[in-house]
Amino acid sequence: MLSNADYANSIDQIVEVMREQHKEGSDFAKIYETGKDSLVDGEFHTPYQYTEAQLAAAVEEARRLGTTVGVHAMGEPGTLYAAQAGVVAIDHATQLSDETMRLMKEKHIPAVPTFAIFAYFAEHAGSAAAAARETALLNYKIAEFKKQVAAGIPFAVGSDVGPFPHGTQAVEMELMVRYGMKPLAVLQADLINGAKVLGWEGQIGELKPGYFADVIAVPGNPLEDITAVERVSFVMKGGKVVRQ
Ligand SMILES: [Zn+2]
């Protein structure tokens, strides 16, 4: 088990862990649905950890607590079970079947590709073999992402920052554009879908009356050059200028 997670092996245990974490102050649950990953001869495999019924129980418990469930889900069938269960977002989403993508469109469940972490691992591998493995996985992911964009599923933006330095994660938007999305679509995925995933819809993510006045300015036009978002020169948070 990963050191940043709590263990749960049944519906009862999942609910128990969620209640305990909620009492300790958590406002969101992320479930490791898949792993360990392998890519053999171009075929991606990742075992699922929970059935659809178990994930659905987690989603129901989260609803009772006024929150939502996200999943670490790299591929099938875990990604399908997550979509069927009605999670709020599918993180990593490297491999999505046609049926999973259909459900994600129908239920407005965004995929969060997290290219930044895959690119980081490919560039900072400890050995030549690891570099080859990470690069192959990134390339597989890019090819699948192009199919996902063509299928018209919703996306949100997340980088899995932590292993690489905080403050550099805006590179995720650059990578999403490089691998097939239009800059405007990436900004909408980040701001509008991001607000929905966080449960802040109607409060952040858009410039509208009644919303928090959270504004950034960048030198240049991100619709023409998305890397402009990596050079933030002005920040207003809740109507207060914090960087100028
Ligand atoms: Zn994850």
Domain locations along the chain: 11-205
pLDDT-based confidence at residue 233 (cuts at 50, 70, 90): very high
CATH homologous superfamily of 11-205: Metal-dependent hydrolases (3.20.20.140)
The Å distance, Cα 32 to ligand 1 centre, comes to 7
Average pLDDT (221-236) is: 97
Q: How far is the CA of 230 from the centre of ligand 1 (A)?
A: 23
Instruction: Provide the pLDDT confidence category of residue 211 given band limits of 50, 70 and 90.
Output: very high
Ligand 1: distance of its center to the CA of 23 in Å?
Answer: 23
Q: Is the model's pLDDT at 79 over the cut of 90?
A: yes
Expressed in angstroms, the distance from the first to the final Cα of the chain is 44
pLDDT tens, position by position, 4-53: 899 999 999 999 999 999 999 999 999 999 999 999 999 999 999 999 99
User: Mean pLDDT over all residues of the chain?
Assistant: 97
What pLDDT is stored for residue 4 in this prediction?
86
- pLDDT of 53 reads 98
For residue range 91-123, what is the model confidence (pLDDT) as tens digits? 999 999 999 999 999 999 999 999 999 999 999
- Whether pLDDT at 62 is above 90: yes
Instruction: Quickly state the pLDDT bin for 2 (edges 50, 70, 90).
Output: confident
Q: Which amino acid is at 35?
A: G
CA atoms of 189 and 185, how far apart (whole Å): 6
Q: Which residues surround ligand 1, an ion (CB under 5 A)?
A: 72
CB atoms within 10 A of CB 95: 25
Per-residue pLDDT, 209 = 96
Q: Say yes or no to pLDDT of 1 above 80.
A: no
- pLDDT at position 88 is 98
When pLDDT is averaged across residues 191-209 and rounded to a whole number, the result is: 96
Q: How far is the CA of 174 from the centre of ligand 1 (A)?
A: 20
- Reply yes or no on whether the pLDDT at 82 is more than 80: yes
Give the C-alpha separation, 147 to 153, whole Å. 10
**pTM for the whole structure:** 0.96
d(CA 18, CA 183): 37
Residue 83 alpha carbon to ligand 1 centre in Å: 16
Residue 72 Cα to ligand 1 midpoint, Å, equals 4
What sections of the chain are H helices per DSSP? 11-23, 52-64, 78-85, 98-107, 115-123, 128-151, 171-178, 183-188, 194-198
Q: Which of 19, 48, 13 is nearest to 32 (CA)?
A: 48
Average pLDDT over residues 67-84: 98
* Rounded mean pLDDT, 126-139: 96
Distance from the CA of 12 to the center of ligand 1, in angstroms?
23
Q: For residue 19, what pLDDT is reported?
A: 97
d(CA 186, CA 130): 30
Going by pLDDT thresholds of 50, 70 and 90, the confidence category of residue 3 is confident
C-alpha 120 – ligand 1 centre gap (Å): 14
CA 92 to centroid of ligand 1, rounded, Å: 7
Rounded distance from Cα 22 to ligand 1 centre (Å): 20
Mean pLDDT of 184-210: 97
